[in-house]
Structure 1
Amino acid sequence: MGNYCRKLVEFCSGKAVSELCHNIEGNINDGSFSRLTYDMMLAWERPSYYDEEDTTENVAKEKEERKITLNTTQEQDDIPLFYSDIMPLLVNNEPNVGEDAFVWLGSLVPLVADVANGRFTFESLTAPTGNRLHFPAYDMFLKEMDKCIRHLQKHATPNGVELAEDEYILHVDGTASTQRVVRHIGSTSWPGRLTLTNYSLYFEASGVIRYEDALKIDLSKNIEQSVEPAATGPWGAQLYDKAIIYDSTDLSETVVLEFPELTSSTRRDHWLALVREIMFLHQFLSKYQIKCPIQTWELHARTILGIVRLQAAREMLRISPPVPTKFLIFSLYDEIPKGDYVLEELADSLKKGNNGQSCSASSILRSMNISKTVDSCIITDEASQADGSVNVVDDSPLLEAAIKQSREEEKEILIAKATTEELKDEGVIDSVLVITELLKPLKHVVPWFQEIFTWERPIITLAVLAASLMIIYMEWVGKTFAAFLIWAIIKMLDARKKKIREKCYEIVISRSSMASDQSTMESIVSAQHGLYTIHDMMQIANIAMLKIWSILISKADKVLVRFFSAVIMILVKIDSNI
């Protein structure tokens, strides 16, 4: 019964959404779109009468959970206290929706979410509200998206540049109403305006009256190019980690752009994610040979909407901005494990075609007045189909399975890294470094034995072999052991004479090997299970070796006297037996 009701909800919602998409901007402004689509999510999540009991239980559970502090991530721990007091303004006592309903709506109309990264978007949006989406927050999110799109349409074209017909401005920084952007060329710095489109990055240096002609960085070319975080400072000193550096085979020198701000590097991280997203978009089109103009523009439209969602989320959550990659398709799957499999399924599902969609990302942009002449023919071809759609949003089982697997492995990595960090705090890494330092003298002994066993030095090997045979044949094992003990005592007395115990007051360890935390998922996950046991074993081994070391350098006088007495008794006993 429940499955039949849900199918009916899906059918009716598809018909309704196809009508809403024709005037989506006006419907967002008057609140009808957000109210109707939110009710669709509620109906899809609880399609039958019998689900009302579950709803009552969920509401009671929510009230109970509000009394308990939510488990937060490290990023949420850094949120100021007053930020948590703002979020209840976006929460009400009405029924709320969960992740599956949110992603389902994204598969129906790719405005509020994209099926490729909808689950990650939902996590970021609902992290402060217990992973449940309430209507005030949903309505504000849609209205912020509409504001962002209208704001982008007001930006002026960069000086000396003529944008392509399907090229749109996605983000601008460095203007009078925003913070500065500085380009570093050698020892000189040039403030200016930075503009990002779905094809290129433009920097206009500030002039006396107006901006100079823009420097164009083409992100769509199929060449070797990279953009990385960088640090800048006076006289080449890397003091401020707030810049990005772009490098490609087309440029004679790298382009360094700094985003100054007082505290964090949030602006830099935001721009870095946006630039990479455009680069990865064109690399995706080139790698999977997507030549169809409709499919190409559809991917551009989905990328544009992803950036708009990110801008809207940043406006909603200004004090603690969300992680940019959670809203960007290609940057996200370049970062998380098994992301390449998801992109393969995305390309396959895009090429197969799916005419069951009620609206597309490109038709949404058209209805929100982001369209030009070259796109009108594409959209016209698109609109000539039954429901005005092409294969634009992917709901194939293979794509969903790939997303689910990638997400689960990302969670495993996060858990493993959290465990590893916890163990670091408990001193496991320090124990590893201590035992490594204590065993350093053996580094010279082990190669010597290897040379003997592998006959790299035949003379020494023969001498050791002959001495061993003679000791065994002449039954000199006891005498050899006694000689070894005497040699050890001589070394200890020599160490005491040279006052080595004063020189070895502390063991100095190096943390340079811990500078890089880069590791594969398999090594992290497998390591976390054995770290606790290894920690205990290393502590015991360290204590034992430290005691032996203190005896050898005569640091503990009482223990040294006992050791000498024991050695003398052993020697006397061996002598009496002989």
Structure 2
Amino acid sequence: MHSTEPVYFEFPEFKSSSRRDYWLDICLEILRAHRFIRKYNLRENQVNEALARAILGIFRYRAIREALHVFPSNYRTLLCFNLAESLPGGDMILETLSNRLAMMKYSSGRRDAFGSPNVKKQSVQPFFLLTLCTLGIMSCNEEDFNREGTFRLGEYCAGEISPLEAAVKESKQNTGRAVAAQATVDQVKVEGIDTNLAVLKELLYPLIESFDRLQHLVSWEDPWKSGLFLLLISYTIFRGWTRYILPCTFLSVASFMIWRRQTGKMGPLEAFKIVAPPTKNAVEQLLTLQDAVTQVEGLIQSVNIVLLKMRALLYGVIPQATEKVALMLVLVALALAFVPLNYILLFAFVECFTRNMPLRKESSARFMRRTREWWLRIPAAPVELIKSDDKKRR
């Protein structure tokens, strides 16, 4: 959309953060009003009505600031286009507004005995544009006004609220819920790495406990329980019931949520009790953070080494190791092509679960040691670090 109107820039002195925020809100309102116009492809009078909304909002915004001097942030709601970007469901408000502007007409046609326009479709009059005309800010044609000197208002909904008002009310309700939810989030935020780790550990306690129980079964410290678990899972895989595990998990969680919804009280949820770790000063927290960063760096280095060794195997740096890996990949491909998936899963589960079995523990340990020794003999592919050219950045 091209415009021949001039553009004026004002460069005020930004003496404080409130003044910068004030002018930033006005600039964003103008930019988002034009984005709204381009997005919904408004034309002619619809563009003028949308810009008139933004202009009146900026006038109210400026008038309140001049009257109060100390400007509260909650008066930013006067800027409708800027506000719609941050409200829940703000896109629905703008879409409803665009539909309302699509029904806008200037010419009313013939009038009936009551002085109302006699049109086939419900029309919406440019209320904000005519307001600017009444205030003398803009010039309008005389046919846009009634003979009595008052302008016509549009979009009456008998017995119900207008779609735009309904969208705004729904957005206000969602905003209230979002603010209440954000208040609970701010209350449960804690400071300190150790404290956050303690909270995370308590929240993940069911998963950690399940993993510990699984580790106990895999270690074969209790052969009866481990054997029973092996038979149960093997029978499940053999019958092809593994595809029902995830749906059954979701149904169980949904059933628990519905049961708690029906039987639980409507009051607030009980606080999650966590034993706070001993407090640490700033230096101790920095040392803890440094240790965590060092561990993450070591993990990344290990991953890089694995990838570089895989690159060396891929390009045949060690021919014997490359031949063994290629032969293993061929066997895996043939198994995936000709052996049913259930049998492959069953074989993999039994092989991994029975490694610590008394009958296989020694042979499995020997096999894992030989595998680690073979992996250590594989060199990593070379890496060359090239410094970036500072002249190009400049």
TM exceeding 0.5 = no
TM-score range, shorter chain: 0.3 to 0.5
TM-score scaled by structure 1?
0.31
**Greater fraction of residues in helix:** 2
**Greater fraction of residues in strand:** 1
Indicate the structure (1 or 2) with the bigger Cα radius of gyration.
2
